Amino acid sequence: MKNLSITQQYLLCVLNKNGKLPAFGLEKTLCLSAAGVLELLMEDVLAFDGKKLTVQSTLPEEKGYLRPVYEVVERKQPVKFEAIVEYFSLTFTDKHMDELIDSIGVSLAQQGCVKKEKGGLFSGKDIYFPNETDVDSVVQNIRAELLEDGELSEDIVALTVLLNKSGDLQKYFSAYEKKDLKKRLKEIKNTPQNEMIQKVVEYIDSLLCLIIVAAT
| CA–CA gap between residue 112 and residue 155 (Å, rounded) | 21
CA-based R_g, the chain, Å: 17
Segment holding 144, helix H or strand E: helix 132-146
Q: List 80's β-bridge partners, or say none.
A: 52
Contact yes or no for 131/108 (Cβ under 8 A): no
Q: What's the first-to-final CA gap in the chain, in angstroms?
A: 45
Average pLDDT, the chain: 87
Q: What is the pLDDT of residues 31-83, one digit of tens each?
A: 999 999 999 999 999 999 888 999 999 999 999 999 999 999 999 999 999 89
Q: Indicate the pLDDT class of residue 122, thresholds 50, 70 and 90.
A: low
Rounded to an integer, what is the distance from CA 106 to the centroid of its chain? 16
pLDDT at 84 > cutoff 80: yes
| CA–CA gap between residue 69 and residue 168 (Å, rounded) | 23
The pLDDT value recorded for residue 92 is 66
Nearest alpha carbon to residue 22 among 171, 150, 145:
171
pLDDT at 121 > cutoff 80: no
- Three-state SS at 13: helix
| CA–CA gap between residue 32 and residue 53 (Å, rounded) | 17
Which residue would you say has higher pLDDT here, 197 or 107? 107
The pLDDT value recorded for residue 189 is 73
| CA–CA gap between residue 99 and residue 125 (Å, rounded) | 10
| CA–CA gap between residue 121 and residue 6 (Å, rounded) | 32
The pLDDT value recorded for residue 214 is 42
Q: List 47's β-bridge partners, or say none.
A: 54
In CATH, which of 1.10.3630.10, 3.10.450.50, 1.10.10.60, 1.25.60.10 is domain 6-215? Answer: 1.10.3630.10
Burial class for 47, CB neighbours closer than 10 Å (0-12, 13-18, 19+): middle
